[in-house]
């Protein structure tokens, strides 16, 4: 299936927040914060447009971290003072969540007003949120029940976004790749089967308007060795159109994740490491893409960094300048692959 809408390059996740935005969020004045967020998003759109990204996002600038689109806009979940094993501030579910209105659709509308480039929206997956916020004896009776409630919210938001013209929506579940290992990592409070069922509830659309892509990022790092059967089960049970996979280390496991993809699904390859400032050698990256091309039609592919540059607002992985250099490299790699097509 050729990707006729040519979403060849995007930045995958969160962008490095400007210092002025962080200062405004720390100061806590709602009006100043809102103004700083809008200014930062406007500048981020200009940056992405200059980099020839085929979609634009708000960089997660209006949120504390990549989970905020849901956590900051629903009732029933509470922020704690603790930090989880993933280094993120821990939230706990005290009741089944309810949305307090649109999650990110309004920001998507602002993006659409700023440029003719298609907006992309990223949301945390409900299975990931349930796996990391469920606490036995506190609120929902099970992580599965919590996950299904979150899936309803995310599903409703996806339908709203699609109705407003957004054609590329990405769900982030950083726990899934670890569960594809031959020695699977813990999936938190949700089993692998329950995680697939919950994320499937969120991503299943009865009707898909032309050009709509629901993408899933199942993690930022491939496991040491991939259990092929579990990978195929993931792709089969979560009805995503596009899988955003790490592809920046050149390991057999990264290639195995691509090999396991069904022929009719798109792939976005995270070809540059978003955690190190050193630029990748283009010939090396192209050789990896050529290897993937033996198993996957590159016409159904896109490229991006391997993960977000600042999934936590106050914890950027690179400087803004290093981030720009990495994105320029991604754009260059896209030209090597598709010329001026995208």
Q: What is the pLDDT of residues 257-299, one digit of tens each?
A: 999 999 999 999 999 999 999 999 999 999 999 999 999 999 9
- pLDDT given at position 5: 56
- From the list 85, 91, 84, 95, the residue with the least C-alpha distance to 63 is 91
Q: pLDDT over 90 for what percent of the chain? A: 84
Q: What's the domain range around 315?
A: 19-338
| Cβ–Cβ under 8 Å, residues 146 and 76 | no
Amino acid 341: pLDDT: 58
Domain of 330, CATH number, reads 3.20.20.210
pLDDT score, position 98: 96
Instruction: State the Cα–Cα distance between residues 67 and 189, nearest whole angstrom.
Output: 17
Which ranges of 52-142 would DSSP assign to H, the alpha helix?
Answer: 68-71, 105-114, 126-133
Residue 8 lies in a domain: no
Is the pLDDT reported for residue 3 higher than 60? no
Pairing of the two strands 89-99 and 242-246: unpaired
pLDDT band for position 2 (cuts 50, 70, 90): very low
Beta-ladder partners of 301: 267
Please compute the mean of the pLDDT values over residues 236-245 and round it to a whole number: 96
Each residue's pLDDT tens digit, 31-47: 999 999 999 999 999 99
The chain-wide mean pLDDT, for the chain, equals 93
Prediction pTM value: 0.94
Rounded Cα gap, residues 325 and 319, in angstroms: 10
Q: What percent of the chain has pLDDT over 70?
A: 97
Domain total of the chain: 1
In a domain, 276, yes or no: yes
Other C-beta atoms lying within 10 Å of the C-beta of residue 278: 10
In a domain, 12, yes or no: no
Query: What per-residue confidence (pLDDT) applies to 4?
Result: 44
Question: Exposed, middle or buried by CB within 10 Å (0-12, 13-18, 19+), for 7?
Answer: buried
pLDDT score, position 28: 85
Whose CA is closest to 195, among 151, 229, 137, 159? Answer: 151
**Residue 88 lies inside a defined structural domain of this protein:** yes
Q: Encode pLDDT of 107-159 as tens digits.
A: 999 998 998 888 999 999 999 999 999 999 999 999 999 999 999 999 999 99
Q: Is the pLDDT of residue 1 over 80?
A: no
Considering the domain boundaries, does residue 2 fall inside one? no
Higher pLDDT, 222 or 10: 222
Does 142 reside within a domain? yes
Question: Within a domain: residue 70?
Answer: yes
129 found inside a domain? yes
* Angstrom distance (rounded) from CA 341 to CA 8: 9
What is the C-alpha to C-alpha distance for residues 132 and 112, in angstroms, rounded to an integer?
32
Neighbouring residues of 283: CB distance < 8 A, sequence distance ≥ 6: none
């Amino acid at each position: 299936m050729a990707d006729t809408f040519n979403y060849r390059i995007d930045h995958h996740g969160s962008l490095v927040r400007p210092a002025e935005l962080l200062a405004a969020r720390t100061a806590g004045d709602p009006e100043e914060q809102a103004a700083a967020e809008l200014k930062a998003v406007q500048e981020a759109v200009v940056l992405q447009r200059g980099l020839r990204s085929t979609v634009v996002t708000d960089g997660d600038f209006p949120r504390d971290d990549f989970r905020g689109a849901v956590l900051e806009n629903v009732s029933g979940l509470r922020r704690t003072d603790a930090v989880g094993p993933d280094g993120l501030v821990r939230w706990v579910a005290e009741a089944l969540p309810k949305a307090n209105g649109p999650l990110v659709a309004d920001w998507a509308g602002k993006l659409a007003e700023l440029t003719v480039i298609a907006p992309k929206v990223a949301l945390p997956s409900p299975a990931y949120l349930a796996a990391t916020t469920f606490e036995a004896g506190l609120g929902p009776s099970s992580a599965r029940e919590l996950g299904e409630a979150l899936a309803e919210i995310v599903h409703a938001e996806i339908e709203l976004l699609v109705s407003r013209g957004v054609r590329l929506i990405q769900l982030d579940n950083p726990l899934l790749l670890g569960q594809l290992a031959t020695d699977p990592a813990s999936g938190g409070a949700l089993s692998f089967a329950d995680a697939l069922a919950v994320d499937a509830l969120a991503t299943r659309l009865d009707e898909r308007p032309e050009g709509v892509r629901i993408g899933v990022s199942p993690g930022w790092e491939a496991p040491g060795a991939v259990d092929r059967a579990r990978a195929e089960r993931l792709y089969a049970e979560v009805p995503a159109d596009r899988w955003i996979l790490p592809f920046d280390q050149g390991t057999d496991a990264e290639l195995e994740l691509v090999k396991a993809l069904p022929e009719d699904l798109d792939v976005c390859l995270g070809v540059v490491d978003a955690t190190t400032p050193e630029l990748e050698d283009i010939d090396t990256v192209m050789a990896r893409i050529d290897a993937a091309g033996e198993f996957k039609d590159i016409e159904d592919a896109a490229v991006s960094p391997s993960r977000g540059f600042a999934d936590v607002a106050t914890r950027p992985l690179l400087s803004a300048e290093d981030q720009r250099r990495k994105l320029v490299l991604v754009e260059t790699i896209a030209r090597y692959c598709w010329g001026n097509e995208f």
